[in-house]
């Protein structure tokens, strides 16, 4: 795992290195520019001297002395700051007064028409031998004093060094300062996380950050804790309700067992009543546990897709429910429709919806319609108790029952619609419930297009 501090330090080192490269580039640019200007000055002057030297032979024939020719060439030579022309003939120097030690150093160099250097940005020169009429030989020195250019370059280097050191110091300061600002909210968030438990999930914590990104993270973290608190409370409530629901039939079963122990051996009627009640409560517990296990799954992963007749499925459901509710009248309206979906989940979905209509339908007729159009729609309508607007918002909550007083009478655990919601989400089925007190309820299922 990488540390943020090291990664930040690396980033700033790279940034400082890039700045230093740019500074070095500036120095190199000026150094190259000075060399280029000096080179062009020397070559320009050398070209002029070549022209003048070409006329020496003709002028000597006209009677002019070599010294006069030197002086004439020097007078006509282009006037460039710092650049001097020197003729050396018979160990005598003709031209500007020039430091003798510099001339001696140049004389030790190779005679060539190429530009040469003496010292670091001190002098650049052209030193060559010239022959006239094969009997007159002299040396020509074109030398550029680069003292001013050297001082300018040294000034630039000093400025660059100052900027480089300033960049390193400022960059180090900024990186450390930024790191401390960056780490403060992270450490705060870490401390809060370490102190979190189920009892402190809803505690408000004070964190401040100068960065919008951290503020967004902290806000998202607070929202996550709120959701976690809500889910935790919901799970605790679920466990408590489930324990309560299981405790009741266990208490009843235990009561009948004690009754059998006391009177069952002598009274056959009491024994039969107890056995029937135990059987009923066992079925009730089995149904409840099955529903709890279904709801306890994180998601419905293995979804089967196969083609089946929707109308035939509903007819089978109605036939099965008739065994438990023989006096209920359920009307099925609609044509034959085939769908591709999970047969068992669709069956469980419809069983829960239709059974709810039976339980709260006050023994009135229940109408089931299959409507085939742009989508396949299933509508289940009862004419029973209905649900108020306030309660309609909570119908998918686990263990929620509109009439808790009648819950055991109608064998309701308040889990049916929770299962319905879970299945519709898994199969991407749109569900809509409309209800009015003492009028009835209409549940509409819209199946997705194939």
> Residue 182: inside a domain, yes or no?
no
Residue 263 has pLDDT above 90, yes or no: no
How many residues are there in the chain? 450
Residue 170, classed as helix, strand or coil, is helix
Rounded to whole angstroms, the Cα distance separating 348 from 160 reads 80
Please compute, for residue 72, the number of CA atoms within 13 A of its CA located in the half-sphere on the CB side. 13
> Residue 376: inside a domain, yes or no?
yes
Residue 240 has pLDDT above 80, yes or no: no
> Residue 120: inside a domain, yes or no?
yes
pLDDT confidence of residue 242: 59
Mean pLDDT of the chain: 80
Residue 377 has pLDDT above 70, yes or no: yes
Show the domain range for 223.
212-296
How far separated are the first and last CA of the chain, in Å rounded? 47
User: What is the number of structural domains in the chain?
Assistant: 3
- What digits encode the pLDDT tens for the residues 8-37? 777 778 888 888 888 888 889 989 999 999
Instruction: Say what percent of the chain tops pLDDT 70.
Output: 80
CB within 8 A of 51, min separation 6: which ones?
Answer: none
Q: Structure pTM?
A: 0.46
> Residue 94: inside a domain, yes or no?
yes
Tell me, yes or no, whether 136 and 277 share the same domain: no
Q: What is the DSSP string of 270-295?
A: HHHHHHHHHHHHHHHHHHHHHHHHHH
User: Residue 243 — pLDDT band, cuts 50, 70, 90?
Assistant: low
Tell me, yes or no, whether 339 and 232 share the same domain: no
Tell me, yes or no, whether 274 and 341 share the same domain: no
pLDDT confidence of residue 217: 74
Tell me, yes or no, whether 29 and 107 share the same domain: yes
Say if residues 304 and 342 touch (Cβ distance below 8 Å). yes
Q: Which of 148-162, 166-180, 273-287 has the lowest mean pLDDT?
A: 273-287
User: Residue 370 — pLDDT band, cuts 50, 70, 90?
Assistant: very high
- What digits encode the pLDDT tens for the residues 39-48? 999 999 999 9
Tell me, yes or no, whether 331 and 284 share the same domain: no
pLDDT confidence of residue 407: 43
Tell me, yes or no, whether 371 and 245 share the same domain: no
Residue 415 has pLDDT above 80, yes or no: no
pLDDT confidence of residue 142: 92
> What is the domain-level CATH number for residue 228?
1.10.287.130
């Amino acid at each position: 795992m990488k540390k943020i501090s090291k990664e930040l330090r690396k980033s700033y080192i790279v940034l400082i290195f890039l700045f230093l490269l740019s500074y070095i580039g500036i120095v190199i640019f000026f150094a190259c520019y000075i060399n280029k200007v000096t080179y062009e000055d020397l070559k320009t002057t050398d070209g002029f001297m070549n022209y003048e030297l070409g006329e020496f032979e003709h002028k000597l024939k006209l009677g002019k002395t070599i010294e006069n020719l030197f002086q004439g060439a020097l007078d006509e030579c282009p006037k460039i700051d710092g650049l001097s022309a020197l003729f050396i003939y018979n160990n005598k120097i003709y031209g500007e007064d020039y430091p003798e030690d510099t001339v001696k150093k140049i004389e030790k160099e190779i005679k060539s028409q190429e530009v040469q250097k003496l010292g670091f940005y001190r002098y650049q020169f052209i030193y060559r031998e010239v022959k006239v009429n094969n009997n007159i030989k002299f040396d020509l020195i074109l030398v550029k004093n680069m003292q001013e250019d050297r001082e300018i370059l040294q000034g630039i280097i000093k400025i660059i060094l100052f900027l480089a050191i300033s960049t390193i110091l400022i960059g180090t300061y900024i990186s450390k300062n930024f790191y401390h600002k960056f780490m403060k909210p992270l450490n705060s968030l870490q401390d809060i996380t370490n102190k979190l438990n189920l009892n402190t999930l809803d505690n408000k914590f004070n964190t401040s950050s100068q960065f919008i990104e951290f503020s967004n993270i902290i806000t998202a973290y607070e929202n996550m804790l709120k959701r976690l608190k809500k889910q935790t409370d919901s799970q605790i409530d679920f466990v408590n309700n489930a324990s309560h629901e299981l405790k009741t039939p266990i208490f009843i079963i235990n009561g009948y067992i004690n009754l059998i122990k006391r009177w069952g051996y002598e009274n056959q009627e009491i024994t039969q009543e107890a056995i029937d009640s135990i059987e009923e409560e066992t079925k009730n517990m089995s149904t409840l546990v099955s529903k709890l296990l279904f709801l306890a799954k994180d998601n419905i992963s293995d979804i089967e897709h196969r083609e089946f007749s929707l109308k035939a499925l509903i007819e089978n459901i109605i036939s099965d429910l008739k065994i438990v509710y023989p006096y209920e009248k359920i009307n099925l309206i609609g044509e034959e429709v085939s769908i591709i979906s999970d047969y068992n989940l669709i069956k469980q979905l419809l069983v829960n919806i239709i059974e709810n209509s039976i339980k709260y339908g006050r023994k009135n007729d229940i109408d089931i319609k299959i409507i085939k159009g742009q989508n396949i729609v299933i509508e289940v309508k009862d004419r029973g108790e209905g649900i108020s607007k306030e309660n309609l918002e909570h119908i998918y909550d686990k263990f929620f029952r509109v009439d808790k007083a009648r819950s055991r009478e109608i064998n309701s655990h308040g889990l049916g619609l929770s299962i319905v919601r879970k299945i519709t989400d898994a199969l991407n089925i749109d569900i809509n419930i409309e209800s009015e007190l003492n009028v009835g309820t209409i549940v509409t299922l819209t199946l997705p297009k194939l």
